[in-house]
Amino acid sequence: MLKAFADLSTPLVADACVRIGVPLRAAPPGIGAVVPGHRIAGRALPARHYGSVDVFLEACGQAGEGEVLVIDNGGRSDESCVGDLTVLEAESAGVAGLVIWGLHRDTPELAEIGLPVFSYGSYPLGPVRVDEREPEALTTARFGPHLVSGDDIVLGDDDGVLFVAAHRAEEVLATACQIWQTERDQARLIRTGETLRRQTSFDDYLARRSADPTYTFRQHLRRVGGAIEE
C-alpha cells in the first residue's frame, strides 16, 4: 500500500475521493507527523486508550505486517498516551506506523526509532487514570467525527491523514494517479509560459457561466480534462 501511495499525496487522494464519490474522511486539522516527511499507508489496526498501555500491547499481538495502529484517545490535550516503548513494541510487531487522536511524548526517542508517528503534538505528562474499557476497544477507533475499523486504509503525509474504505482503496489510488498526471502536465505547461487560464479555456468558462449561472468550474474542468479542484 505504501508503494502504491509513494508518488501521491493526501490532497490527491482527497480529490480522488470527491471525484468518484467515496466518503471523504480526514483526521482533524493539526494531526501531523512527529518527523516531517514521514508517510504512512496501510490497513487500520484500531485501539481505544483508557489510561493504560495494555490495550496497545494487545493490539500489537493481533497486528498484521504493515498495518497502521490507529489510537483513539478522544483528542485529549491533558495527557500523552504513546511513548518510545509503545512505538518500539509496535515496530517489533510489524506495524507500519501510528496515528494518534491525541498526544505523544518522548519525541527525541521517537525520531531516533524512525517509525512514522502522527499526533496532535507532544506533551510530557502521561495518563494518571484508568477508565472502564469498552467492548469495541480493539475493533474500532474514533478519530474526530469518524469511526475507523480494520476495513479501512490509513494514508498520511505532511498534509494530514485520511481514512479510506479498503474495498475502494485501489480505485481511489488509481484515480489519484490520473489526477497527479494531469496536474504535473499542467504545472509543466505553466512553467513554459502556457497559463492555467489558457489550459483550462477559462474565458470559455466565464462565457458559459454568464449564460448559465449554474455552470460550475468543476463541471468545466471535467469537460475540458483539467484538474486543480474537485
Query: For the chain, where do the domains classified as CATH 3.50.30.40 start and end?
Result: 2-166
pLDDT tens digits, 151-186: 999 999 999 999 999 999 999 999 999 999 988 998
**What pLDDT is stored for residue 229 in this prediction?**
66
Please indicate if the annotation marks 15 as binding a ligand.
no
Please indicate if the annotation marks 209 as binding a ligand.
no
- 56, 89 Cβ separation under 8 angstroms: yes
User: What is the mean pLDDT of the segment spanning 206-222?
Assistant: 93
Asked whether the predicted pLDDT for residue 226 surpasses 90, the reply is: no
The partner residues of 117 in beta bridges, in order of sequence, read 98
Residue in the structure block whose three cell numbers are 469537460: 223
Asked whether the predicted pLDDT for residue 230 surpasses 80, the reply is: no
Average pLDDT, the chain: 95
What DSSP element (H or E) covers 41?
Answer: strand 40-48
**What pLDDT is stored for residue 179 in this prediction?**
92
User: What is the mean pLDDT of the segment spanning 38-45?
Assistant: 97
**What pLDDT is stored for residue 1 in this prediction?**
79
Asked whether the predicted pLDDT for residue 114 surpasses 90, the reply is: yes
Kindly give, in sequence order, each residue whose CB lies less than 8 Å from that of residue 115, ignoring residues fewer than 6 positions away: 87, 90, 91, 95, 96, 97, 98
CATH number of this structure's domain 2-166: 3.50.30.40
pTM: 0.90
Residue in the structure block whose three cell numbers are 481511489: 172
